[in-house]
Structure 1
Amino acid sequence: MTEPQIEDSFYTAPAITGHRKGALLKTRKIPLPQLDSAQAWQILYVASDSFGEKLPASGTVIVPDSNAVAGSGPLVAYVPSFHGLGGRCAPSQLLQDGTEREIDYIAMALDRGWTVAIPDGRGLGVTGRGPHTFLAGPSGGAAVLDILRAAQRIPDLDCSNPAVGVWGYADGGRYAVWAAEMAPLYASELDLRGVAAGAVIADPGALAERYELGPYPGLGWAAMLGLARANPHMPMLHMLNSVGHTVMSFLQTATAAQVLARFRRPVGQYCDQPDPWNNPLWRHVLACERSGQQIPRCPIHLYHGADDVFVPIEGAEQLRDTYREAGVEVSWRDYPHGHYETAEQGANEAVTRLAAYLQHRPERAADSQPTPSETTP
């Protein structure tokens, strides 16, 4: 499905025994063909899977040349949307190649003077760790929080205990809110001051069923493979027939464009049961993957397109209401656009909101959370 790639030894991870989560394993400075006025490092670092077990992860850390001291100022994780399940489609590889499609958003963050950390996500980049665990919230959130830890350990940067923010869209927005929910227990030392998240996939179960019936069944296949990979101790693919398993083997190295274009039939057509997403094992896993089960302790800006056919707005509206009822400071913006148009239209406000959050330290104690009446409409 993809042409063979020359193996890059940088992505071969050393042993992680004895290293803490967020430890820096490897770094190398790289040029960025799409960004002249920036310095960048590819890194390997220690993150964790959906069950807290340590594993190697990869990503990129970029600093603007406009800063007098490299790494000074706030540190922001930019979490890209779905790039694919395998092959050379990790954001760190595309940035090195000069083909990263979300470069304009990364540049917007750099223009603010922020150091920007871009995680590849579990299963992309690091040799032998694929396929990507698409939609797996815990491992996605951990990859975000741990790259923020690792960035502060790059020797060339003066990046000690900075104000921290997170920004993402679609599944990147999903991992951004998971990072916010996980941070109080997983990475309480981070000074996380706010999150901006667009087109958040709050309930993968509802979305997977929609993909089964809608015009993008390839995303249902990607969800099944990604979540099965995130739960390797469970027989998640036991419902597939022999043809379904063959399709899955091809899918493991598919880019996002290939997932949308080449996988045109629903998963259910290749299963021994007609409604795979309602299998009891899958219902359990999908219930654990719902956002909103933990409460963030920082303000959050959510935005969504009313006409989004990839990620329907109803799930994000429910997440907004859940957060507000729990006392989280939530700002909300909906746009009269589809998925891609909203990503563009909402970016300026997302960055502006995030900049405001970074200026103020939120209260950390649970009993000091804002009441729903204090949240931003």
Structure 2
Amino acid sequence: MSIERDAAFTGGRGTAADTSSDSDDAVERLTTTPNKDPFYRSPAGFEKAELGAVLRSRRVEIALFGTIRQRVSAWQLLYRTSDMQGEPRTGVTTVLLPAGAVPGPSRPLLSYQCAIDAVSDRCFPSYALRDGAHAHGAVPQFELLIILYALRRGWALSLPDHEGMDGRWGAPVEPGYCTLDGIRAALSFAPLELDDSAPVALWGYSGGGLATSWAAEAADEYAPELNVVGAALGSPVGDPASAFSRLNGTIFAALPTMVVEGLRRTYPDLDRTIRDHVAQPGMTILSSLERKTTVHAVLTLLMHDLERYTDIPLADVMATPELVQIFQDIQPGKSAPSFPLLVVQAVHDPIIAVDDVDGQVERYRTAGAHVTYVRDRLSEHLSLHPIAAPATLNWLADRIADRPVPPNTTETVWSSALSVSGVRGLLGLTVSTGRALLGRVR
């Protein structure tokens, strides 16, 4: 059943036809990938709408791993945003309320940026989190357990497809615009009944942490009217160029390869350089990523070395003026948000080097940002996110409640879980996970 209708614009933010009713029979039940779903198509004249204007909406069902339905209220919003050159684009965010929650203006909003970490639209949270999604190996399907745990706080959540419609993984600034306009859309979406001045928090891990970095850096200038009270950056990449050099040819080689494919879609100069120096078998591998989820790509490109397909050494390709400029562009940490930041990072992380995140924190502090930086000795990349989630949510809750901000410090701990509140939080996450696994099965 299709419920989308092209919106009529009057130019105001929050203006939107296409808002579905709240009845159960209005839930959109057909789950197709975004490239085949008419909901994602930009309506005629969308360029005239203000940033963050809701262009189209629908109710959807959220399901763990695409099969175990969850008792949450969920809508998807198509809204007006812009790319890093300021050109009009559309974005999609999935907004959630706890089951049975009565909408109200006093409710805070958490924008959670998933670790999409792929160029395939099957990894976009708007698809991967829906009932009936075929997205095995998409990271957002695993992150849903943490998203549901956050939802227990009673907050509204916004989950943007921050890579845009064409999977521009690794692009600078643009994920921040997409995230911030998703927040604008959520605040103006009538069924949520949120206040324009509601406190807004930002959170993301890994690729989602990088997107959150861009949102935090852009917020003061791009969306000064938003009441952003804090941002939590989990393992936020720090230096994508460094990660590319370290991971190419390793068991995680798919990650930098997918970044190359994402950046090809962002920078025409890079696309030309790649086509000039990469042989056809390498181009075929890059194109094949359009169909792969993150886990699938990692498993199929183990130890893949892009240099096998270049006609000059990869170091020389990376030293071309075009790539040098791009790697400078995509390094976060260039500006200081006016609100406090929390950064968490595993000391022994095989994917994101702690030195790179140290550098990002130092750049923020040099620019004048207030950063609470926690380095975890016992965790690694995959384990740190759930282990640090309770403490991260407590930090965000304190920012929402306007409690005193912790000192601007760097602390290296054995584990983020080694405290009474940490253990209590992990128990809560375990209970929340059990509830999710026992959700309303389809």
Per the normalisation by structure 1, the TM-score is 0.89
Give distance in 1, aligned partners of 2:71 and 2:269: 45
AA paired with 2:301? Answer: F
The answer to which of 353-362 and 22-31 deviates more is 353-362
Correspondence for 1:174: 210
Give distance in 1, aligned partners of 2:187 and 2:243: 36
Are 1:220 and 1:267, in contact at CA under 8 Å, matched by a contact in 2? no
Correspondence for 2:127: 93
Equivalent of residue 307 in structure 2, options 254, 260, 268 = 268
Give distance in 2, aligned partners of 1:197 and 1:313: 13
Task: For residue 71 of structure 1, report the CA deviation from its aligned partner.
Answer: 6.3
Give distance in 1, aligned partners of 2:82 and 2:307: 31
Change (3 A) 1:326 1:249: closer
2:18 matched to 1:22? Answer: no
Change (3 A) 1:236 1:41: farther
Q: Output one character per residue of 1:201-229: Cα deviation in whole Å (capped at 9) or x when no partner.
A: 12111111112243322112111111121
Are 1:71 and 1:115, in contact at CA under 8 Å, matched by a contact in 2? no
Correspondence for 1:9: 38
Correspondence for 2:265: 229
Look up the SS of the partner of 1:107 in the other structure: helix
Give distance in 1, aligned partners of 2:274 and 2:313: 14
Task: For residue 374 of structure 1, report the CA deviation from its aligned partner.
Answer: 5.5
Correspondence for 2:418: none
Question: What are the within-5 Å matches in structure 2 for residues 1-377 of structure 1?
Answer: 7-15=36-44, 16-34=46-64, 36-65=70-99, 67-69=101-103, 72-97=106-131, 100-123=141-164, 129-130=165-166, 132-161=167-196, 162-232=198-268, 235-238=272-275, 239-264=277-302, 265-275=304-314, 276-335=317-376, 336-360=378-402, 375-377=408-410
AA paired with 2:295? Answer: A
Q: Output one character per residue of 1:168-192: Cα deviation in whole Å (capped at 9) or x when no partner.
A: 0001001111111111111111111
The answer to which of 90-99 and 239-248 deviates more is 90-99
Are 2:80 and 2:89, in contact at CA under 8 Å, matched by a contact in 1? yes
Q: Output one character per residue of 1:284-333: Cα deviation in whole Å (capped at 9) or x when no partner.
A: 11101111111111100000111211111111111122222333221121
Where do 4+ consecutive residues of structure 1 move more than 4 Å? Answer: none
Look up the SS of the partner of 1:185 in the other structure: helix
The answer to which of 285-294 and 86-95 deviates more is 86-95
Are 1:79 and 1:172, in contact at CA under 8 Å, matched by a contact in 2? yes
What runs of 5+ residues in structure 2 fail to find an aligned partner? 1-31, 134-140, 411-442
Give distance in 2, aligned partners of 1:212 and 1:33: 34
Change (3 A) 1:251 1:221: same
Change (3 A) 1:361 1:17: farther
Correspondence for 2:136: none
Change (3 A) 1:227 1:95: same
Are 1:62 and 1:115, in contact at CA under 8 Å, matched by a contact in 2? yes
Give distance in 1, aligned partners of 2:114 and 2:160: 8
Q: Output one character per residue of 1:44-93: Cα deviation in whole Å (capped at 9) or x when no partner.
A: 11222222212111120001135432564111100011352114221111
Per the normalisation by structure 2, the TM-score is 0.76
Change (3 A) 1:51 1:57: same
Look up the SS of the partner of 1:25 in the other structure: strand
Give distance in 2, aligned partners of 1:348 and 1:217: 31
Q: Output one character per residue of 1:107-156: Cα deviation in whole Å (capped at 9) or x when no partner.
A: 12211111100011234xxxxx42x1111131111111110011112121
Change (3 A) 1:193 1:361: farther
What runs of 5+ residues in structure 1 fail to find an aligned partner? 124-128, 363-369
Are 2:239 and 2:331, in contact at CA under 8 Å, matched by a contact in 1? yes
Identity %: 28
Give distance in 2, aligned partners of 1:334 and 1:312: 12
Are 1:85 and 1:134, in contact at CA under 8 Å, matched by a contact in 2? yes
Are 2:117 and 2:207, in contact at CA under 8 Å, matched by a contact in 1? no
Give distance in 2, aligned partners of 1:163 and 1:253: 38
The answer to which of 156-165 and 70-79 deviates more is 70-79
Which protein has the larger Cα radius of gyration, Structure 1 or Structure 2? 2
Are 1:305 and 1:337, in contact at CA under 8 Å, matched by a contact in 2? yes
